[in-house]
Amino acid sequence: MIKFQSVTKNYPPNTVALDDISFEVKSKEFISIVGKSGAGKTTLLKLLLAEEEPTQGRVFFDDQDVHKIKKSKLCFHRRKIGTVFQDYKLLPFKTVYENIAYVLEVIGVNDKDICSQVPDVLDIVGLSEKADNFPQELSQGERQRAAIARAIAHRPEVVLADEPTGNLDPYNTSDVIKLLMKIHEMGTTVILSSHNREVVNSLEKRVITLEKGKIIRDEEKGRFFL
Amino acid sequence: MFPTLKRVIKSGWLSFRRNGMLSVATIFVMVLTISLVTSFLLLQGISNSLISSLEEKVDVSVYFKKDAPEEEITKIEDELLRIPEVKNIDYISRQQALDTFVEKHKDDAQMMESLKEIGENPFLASLNIKAWQANQYEAVSNFFENSTSKDILEKIDYFQRKPLIDKVFSISSFLKKFGIGAAIILGILAILVTFNTVRLAIFNHREEISIMRLVGASNWFIRGPFIIQGMISSLLSVLITLVIFIPLSYFLSPKLLTIVPDFNLFAFLRSNFGTLLLIQILVGIGIGFFSSLIAIRRYLQV
């Protein structure tokens, strides 16, 4: 479903974010990408979203080279992916409800269906009572849950979660991971990037370990080794 | 398409409302810009009125010999009226000239004494000729050059007045050209100021725009609400400008009449209201629309 083929990404003047990375992700898999800060995890996700272009190599999504898609058609590719960003990236002038409804409006869902789907999603993430609040009125944990709700509202094929527990306390961390597991059980491919050892080890899923831009380990029931 | 349009309009309106201070700042600048354009248009009205009244004062008088028969003078008057450059002619007979003089100077004992001394009516019959434009008096003068009735003419005061007539013509044509030049410069300035204000407003939304791109919104779905916001700001700016100008011109009108007696500002505004409104709306909404469209382009490159 997703394929990275000899991907290298350099940032001038001399930062090597990714160095000749190759791996595949099958449909309905749950994989964790781990490594230190600066290992290249976020860059990997950015390449998949076509937010950045690789210096060398190719990235495939459903057998299509993501970076050959025309800029005006990129929006269709991104609709297949739900992303939970490290900094949440919620629209500040829209309420939680409106933020989630936005992705449904983008794909053309009618108002009646939006009215029924958004409350369901809010229920899944436990934010039903915060529907009319703006992002700045929420705690970090609530913002992260709102971001997850937005990422899954339109039932994408893949959910990318970039350090979703980075700013959270252990309680919220646990809630967020349980949510991601639930999403995976519902049939979505999940790619989680994290530097949280306990979280990754508790999942007992495939782990790809990055270090200085290279994959040093790729194990089916992997663990995050220091 | 219509549900999307409805969403875009709703989103634009909500965004406009929720971005309070930014919207106020944008509207403030646009009100200033549209006010400047409106003031300029009103000034043009005043200026045109001044030019016309100035041109009105320019005329040519032709004086006839003492014994010139009235029928001959009337014949010349009829021939002159057939010249297309002539707007109108006033015939002042010898008697009328005398009566006017007496009326004007009846309280001036010295003047009346001098008149009595002369004994007879010293005034000549004259035709006071007004042309449509200051540069057309040459045609009138040429008529007399080629006329067969030259022998009953005493004097034509065109050549004495020619320097004044030329000066009036050059002032009025300069003012007209200046008006066009100033209008173009003002127009460009207005567009630039508004464009930069809208660009700044959209700059503030760059993070939002990139988020919208990342969640898969199409370019038009992103642009739409910002264009609507731009147009709402423009429309409100036009309304605010009108709310300012209508009472302002009503109160300024009587004061202005003391300086420019022939020009009633409020009446001018009222009679040109449709045109003014149209220009304001075109300027306001047009600039708002295109500024938003152009300003947002660079943020859609993500």
Burial bucket for residue B171 (CB in 10 Å: 0-12, 13-18, 19+):
middle
Distance CA B155, CA B63 (A): 5
Structure tokens at B71: 């029928």
Q: List Cα–Cα distances, B227 to A23, B9, B28, B203, B253, in angstroms.
A: 43, 9, 18, 14, 38
Structure tokens at A5: 């083929």
User: Cβ contact (<8 Å) for A75 and B216?
Assistant: yes
Give chain A positions within 8 Å (CB) of B20: none
Q: Which of B161, B195, B220 finishes a domain?
A: B161
Give the residue-averaged pLDDT of B267-284.
81
Distance CA B204, CA A71 (A): 23
Both B258 and B272 in one domain: the answer is yes
Residue-range definition of the domain harbouring residue B87: 58-161
Distance CA B281, CA B83 (A): 44
Q: List Cα–Cα distances, A203 to A23, A151, B38, B235, in angstroms.
A: 20, 20, 69, 57
Residue of B nearest to A110 (CA): B3
User: Cβ contact (<8 Å) for B221 and A111?
Assistant: no
Q: Which CATH number belongs to the domain containing residue B97 in this structure?
A: 3.30.70.3040
Both B74 and B44 in one domain: the answer is no
Q: What is the pLDDT of residue A134?
A: 95
Higher pLDDT, B159 or B266: B266
Both B224 and B175 in one domain: the answer is yes
Distance from CA of A95 to the nearest CA of B (A): 11
Both B90 and B173 in one domain: the answer is no
Burial bucket for residue A155 (CB in 10 Å: 0-12, 13-18, 19+):
middle
Q: What is the pLDDT of residue B298?
A: 79
Contact residues, A window 77-96, toward B, CB-based 8 Å cutoff: 77-79, 81, 83, 85, 89-94
Cβ atoms B205, B41 nearer than 8 A: no
Structure tokens at A174: 């646990």
SS3 B228: helix
User: Cβ contact (<8 Å) for A111 and B3?
Assistant: yes
Q: What is the pLDDT of residue B133?
A: 73
Q: What is the pLDDT of residue A171?
A: 84
User: Cβ contact (<8 Å) for A91 and B212?
Assistant: yes
Residue of B nearest to A98 (CA): B11
Residue A22 has pLDDT above 90, yes or no: yes
Both B36 and B98 in one domain: the answer is no
User: Cβ contact (<8 Å) for B211 and A91?
Assistant: yes
Give the type of residue at B103.
E
Distance from CA of B211 to the nearest CA of A (A): 6
Residue of A nearest to B20 (CA): A93
pLDDT bracket for residue B116 (50, 70, 90): confident
User: Cβ contact (<8 Å) for A106 and B221?
Assistant: yes
Give chain B positions within 8 Å (CB) of A74: 213
Residue range A118-137, pLDDT digits in tens: 999 999 888 999 999 999 99
Both B125 and B49 in one domain: the answer is no
Q: What is the pLDDT of residue A77?
A: 93
How much of chain B exceeds pLDDT 70, in percent? 97
Q: What is the pLDDT of residue A113?
A: 94
Residue B302 has pLDDT above 60, yes or no: no
Give the residue-averaged pLDDT of A195-207.
87
Distance CA A207, CA B220 (A): 39
Q: What is the pLDDT of residue B1?
A: 64
User: Cβ contact (<8 Å) for A108 and B213?
Assistant: no
Q: Which of B129, B161, B193 finishes a domain?
A: B161
- Which of A66, A77, A102, A111 has the highest number of chain B CBs within 10 A, making it the mutation to test binding with B? A102
User: Cβ contact (<8 Å) for A89 and B211?
Assistant: yes
Give the distance from CA B115 to its chain's centroid: 47
Contact residues, A window 44-63, toward B, CB-based 8 Å cutoff: 49, 51
Task: Return the closest-CA partner of residue A162 out of A95, A214, A88, A99.
Answer: A88
Cβ atoms A100, A146 nearer than 8 A: yes
Both B49 and B173 in one domain: the answer is yes
pLDDT bracket for residue B159 (50, 70, 90): low
Give the type of residue at B141.
S
User: Cβ contact (<8 Å) for B215 and A150?
Assistant: yes
User: Cβ contact (<8 Å) for A78 and B216?
Assistant: yes
pLDDT bracket for residue A204 (50, 70, 90): confident
How many domains, in total, are found in chain B?
A: 2
* pTM, 2 dp: 0.75
Q: Which of B161, B196, B222 finishes a domain?
A: B161
Both B129 and B82 in one domain: the answer is yes
Residue range B14-37, pLDDT digits in tens: 988 888 888 888 888 888 888 888
Residue range B184-200, pLDDT digits in tens: 888 788 778 888 888 88
Give the distance from CA B247 to its chain's centroid: 20
pLDDT bracket for residue A112 (50, 70, 90): very high
Residue A226 has pLDDT above 90, yes or no: no
Higher pLDDT, A57 or B287: A57
Both B247 and B145 in one domain: the answer is no
Residue of A nearest to B3 (CA): A110
Residue range B228-262, pLDDT digits in tens: 888 888 889 888 988 998 898 888 888 877 777 77
Q: Is A14 on the interface with B (CB under 8 A)?
A: no
Q: Is A72 on the interface with B (CB under 8 A)?
A: yes
Residue B15 sits at the vertex; the CA angle it makes with B197 and B214, to the nearest 5 degrees, is: 95
Both B38 and B90 in one domain: the answer is no
Both B269 and B285 in one domain: the answer is yes
How much of chain A exceeds pLDDT 70, in percent? 99
Q: What is the pLDDT of residue A25?
A: 94
Structure tokens at A151: 């990422």
Tally the C-alpha atoms within 13 A of residue A27's C-alpha that lie toward its C-beta. 9
Q: Which residue has the tokens 């007496």?
A: B102
Report the residue from B7, B15, B208 with minimal CB separation from A105.
B7
Task: Pick the range with the lowest mean pLDDT from A217-221, B77-81, B260-264.
Answer: B260-264
Both B148 and B106 in one domain: the answer is yes
Report the residue from A71, A93, A106 with minimal CB separation from B216.
A106
Structure tokens at A66: 């993501």
